[in-house]
Chain A
């Protein structure tokens, strides 16, 4: 092995190198804006009332988590899956079925700490099986097969009364109470969603630079070459579906706790497509994108109605507004709002450089 020993590599053991590696791994650490956002999110309950805390921010974080699972698949794996909301909804249904609810004939009455892991496990399994089907296809066919899974699940919940209680769904789903805290009270629930969203965000960020995430990006860029390097591309794709399914399932559990009910409307095809819109509008190249997209979506959904009515228009047209926004974003930036933001920053940076450093070329 003369070639492989021809040069010696000595890692720099100083604290400085550790610091540099840390900064490279977590670029947010040196971004003051990121610290500011984190601070605001933590002290939010001091600023915002219950309505904003739950209807705007908790809802944004939950939708963001579900869209994050799509961002992981699409951004790092090149696989556009429309069934992420279906997986989340499946997890929500399982929480309601195994746990406690107003529909005592359906719910098994397990305590939340048993029902929740069960729901997460089953939903992850569901997503993995769906992924195993979807990886046999590519591009547009992946979208079609995952959409088909989503549509099939929607119709199934509508027609199945034994488990899913048909079109009425399952109501007054119990939420966790322990340590003397009602975890569905506004402030406690906000912190639960914030905690879960932060863990998911950092997990995706971390995994993207771990061997599994790097290999996934390799499979996205060139599956044939990955096979010629010793990787099994389809196994990596299925594992990515499993990881993304777990994240989506976490979002689904939070969602059913948020609304305390779940019905076929929660897993409709329209809702599946909303998740795609959220991810694309926010941007699918980085994990922050889905959360930005979710915030825009939730703000529009909540306030566009009032604004439209004030302008003398039909309030129900808020979807039209979202659709137009979607069109505009896709038209102006293939990388959503983050892409626009970065281009704007680069342009303003280069223009200050130009005005400061004289003119040439």
Chain B
């Protein structure tokens, strides 16, 4: 697919195929088009041309929420949360968004199944201690954790993680890797990550992007040792 912003081609003829359950990293220097690729897949911005298939279904014309209801999930590079609501309400909304009763006028009861799912998810990302705090008051690392929780709600079939480790402390990074590796085997994902240590530890394949094109695809160790990639990655001016 191709995505243009005015005269700027953010993506040019990018084709990427991921098997169900596959875990892949997308690497590339700043402005390579990684986030744009995600935005096209989720429908935040439609591609200028090309098609998107999700488990065989053509979803190119679907609005974002229809894609999400089919099991696609994403996180945002810059946290996109609901600052006026509590942590619990944020996660509850994520659970509600992919189930029935989005328009329900009835408050959830004590034994509501979604309340249980919310509680479980909040604990899974280590935010149980701050669940009644407004998101605006959270530390950066906690907001990143919440960002991930929102993408794990319901029964995801495929998740797009956009730089989930950005700005995390070493401990928080370890927790992130733990969460990623403990995801059920059928949940595939694509992770955009500049930190090779994180990226290459949690994936089985790597796609390297440069200037809106796919530059190289392969196994993590092939990519790591590829001289062209190394030159580009370091020469690209990153870190």
Contacts and interface: CB of A to CB of B under 8 A. Distances in A.
B93 A215 contact: yes
A225 B152 contact: no
Contacts of B82: 217-218, 221-222, 225
Contacts of A226: 65, 93, 97
A230 B104 contact: no
Interface in A202-232: 206-207, 209-212, 214-215, 217-218, 220-222, 224-232
Interface string B73-106: 1101000111111000100111011100111111
A301 interface: no
Interface string A1-29: 11111110101010001100100010000
B120 interface: yes
A221 B84 contact: yes
B74 A228 contact: yes
Given A3-B183, A221-B82, A229-B94, A211 B65 contact: no
B81 A229 contact: no
Interface in A16-74: 17-18, 21, 25
Interface residues of A, number: 39
A65 B182 CA distance: 52
A227 B63 contact: yes
Interface string B144-164: 000000101111000000000
A76 B115 CA distance: 22
A236 B213 CA distance: 38
B83 A221 contact: yes
A1 B152 CA distance: 11
Most buried by B among A7, A222, A230: A230
Contacts of A218: 82, 85, 93
A230 B184 contact: no
Most buried by B among A9, A206, A217, A235: A9
Interface in B86-135: 89, 92-94, 96-98, 101-108, 110-111, 115-117, 119-121, 123-124
A218 B92 CA distance: 11
Contacts, number: 133
A239 interface: yes
Contacts of B115: 11
B119 A6 contact: no
A4 B124 contact: yes
Given A210-B106, A211-B104, A236-B103, A229 B97 contact: yes
A175 B220 CA distance: 79
Nearest to B150: A229
A211 B184 contact: no
A11 B108 CA distance: 13
Contacts of B116: 9, 11
Given A9-B119, A215-B93, A228 B103 contact: no
A112 B44 CA distance: 50
B216 interface: no
A12 to B, nearest CB: 8
Contact of B68 (A9, A207, A220, A229): A229
Most buried by B among A206, A224, A231, A232: A231
A210 B84 CA distance: 16
A352 to B, nearest CB: 24
B93 A214 contact: yes
Interface of A: 1-7, 9, 11, 13, 17-18, 21, 25, 206-207, 209-212, 214-215, 217-218, 220-222, 224-232, 235-236, 239
8 contacts: A6-B123, A11-B116, A210-B105, A211-B102, A214-B96, A221-B82, A228-B44, A229-B150
